[in-house]
Structure 1
Amino acid sequence: MAHRDGDGWIQCNCGGKHWGLHGAAGLLLVRDKTILMQHRAPWVHNGDTWGIPGGARDSHESPVEAAIREGHEEIGIFEKDLTPGEIFTDDHGVWAYHTVIAKAHPELVAHEANDESKEVAWVAFDQVENKNLHPSFANTWPQLLTKLKSL
């Protein structure tokens, strides 16, 4: 396993703290006008909310590599079962979150792969905002949805 050097908090210019010393990345898996969402365990930061698998980037990782690694760790997916596409970046200057939009192949199957996930589910684009969303994901969802509708 490669060295993990990204875990830690960054104090941001926005006044908040963000997880990931080198930024963070998440995986937005898309299939048939649905996205794969993760219900976060109650004990994690912003627990008991819905979002996408993701986490801290390590210094040697690209956003795509980090997003796929996090997806594998949290929801048990494999790189061979998806095609990465556009990357949406929420850039805070000293810190950034990269959402990797990826097409899920028909054979992609996700499950709760570690204790950070309470459940996973395919959610229709128009039903996403009905979930109790992770605050950061809720902030970027309108922009992500615009991108998804243009794919």
Structure 2
Amino acid sequence: MRGDGDGWAESPDGTRQWGRYGAAGLLLRAPLIGGGSAVLLHHRAAWTHQGGTWALPGGARDSHETTVHAAVREAEEEAGIPPGSIRVRGSRVTATAPSGWTYTTVVADAADRLETRGNKESQDLVWVPEDEVEDRPLHPGFAAAWPTLRATPTRVSLEGFAETEAVAAALPRTLDLAELGFLWLHANGDGDGRTARIGGGSDPKQTDLAGNVLFLTLDQVLS
């Protein structure tokens, strides 16, 4: 039932978290000119919990929803983001509580910095360059999770690669490397961040973060 997740989850230690069935938020990226990315941040209205801070669109998950459904719905309600305009790339459980409550951050991309439309919970909605996110007064939960969510800008070298058109069509995008973190893959820009090359095969073990050049498989780039 829509809205049955609204309410507090009580933990044995006396703390409580919003969302009877947990909560979820959407980390949405879009490309910047030059190869970087911007993240959509939500300036929380003063009357809300931790009001005045910056965070992601998000909220309580209803009993029938997956975390992805909840995060996408909240982004539509709080920011006016049409679900069909984004592509989900991964997710992370970024907070837990003794009650079993969890907060899941769903990571997604948009082809452009989409127009937004706030509701009563929003003071503002702003596309913020990824390397400037920490300059704002962040919600404590988001501030704690941000280091694990931030994507490393990575320029994909297409030099001498036979399937250039297929790769170029898939970029820019977020790539989720699980415990190795997130990359923002792009094919243009000034080379800031890492450089990636595409090798043959589909074995993810070919990923190598030890050197200056990151080796990815074609399957990883097109996934």
TM-score (norm 2): 0.63
Q: 1:91 to 1:108 in 2, by over 3 A?
A: same
Give the Cα separation in 2 of the matches to 1:106 and 1:124.
13
SS at match of 2:132: helix
Question: 1:149 aligns to what?
Answer: 183
Deviation at 1:143, TM superposition (A): 0.7
Q: Whose Rg is larger?
A: 2
* DSSP 3-state at the match of 2:63: coil
Structure 1 equivalent of residue 2 of structure 2: 3
Corresponding residue for residue 34 of structure 1: 38
For structure 1, the residue ranges without an aligned partner over 5 or more in a row are none
2:150 match: secondary structure = helix
- SS of 1:69's equivalent in the other structure is helix
**93, 109, 120: which one aligns with 1:103:** 109
Q: Distance in 1 between matches of 2:68 and 2:50?
A: 23
Instruction: Pick the aligned partner of 1:139 from 144, 147, 151.
Output: 144
Q: Answer 1 or 2: higher relative contact order, Cα 8 Å, separation at least 6.
A: 1
Q: Of the candidates 130, 142, 157, which is equivalent to residue 125 of structure 1?
A: 130
AA at the equivalent of 2:65: E
The one-letter amino acid of 1:99's match is T
Mean Cα displacement is larger for which, 45-54 or 89-98? 89-98
**How many equivalent pairs are there?**
149
SS at match of 1:149: strand
Partner of 1:85 in structure 2?
Answer: 89
Looking at structure 2, the residues matched to 145 and 91 of structure 1 have their Cα atoms a distance apart, in angstroms, of: 16
In the alignment, the residues of structure 2 paired with residue 65 and residue 115 of structure 1 have an alpha-carbon distance, to the nearest angstrom, of 21
Tell me how far apart the structure 1 counterparts of residues 75 and 51 of structure 2 sit (CA, whole Å).
17
SS in 1 for 2:128: strand
**Local SS of the residue matching 1:70:** helix
The percent identity for this pair of structures is: 44
Once residues 60 and 134 of structure 1 are traced to their aligned partners in structure 2, the CA distance between those partners, rounded to angstroms, is 27
State the Cα RMSD in Å.
1.8
Query: Quick one: which amino acid aligns to residue 21 of structure 2?
Result: H
Q: Secondary structure at the match of 1:127?
A: helix
**Compared CA separation, residues 123 and 107, structure 1 to 2 (3 A):** closer
* Larger mean Cα displacement after TM superposition, 11-20 or 81-90: 11-20
SS of residue matched to 1:128: helix
Report deviation, 1:105: 2.5
TM-score after normalising by structure 1: 0.91
**Among 56, 70, 74, which residue is 2:74 paired with?**
70
* Stretches of structure 2 lacking an aligned partner (at least 5 in a row): 32-36, 152-180, 186-223
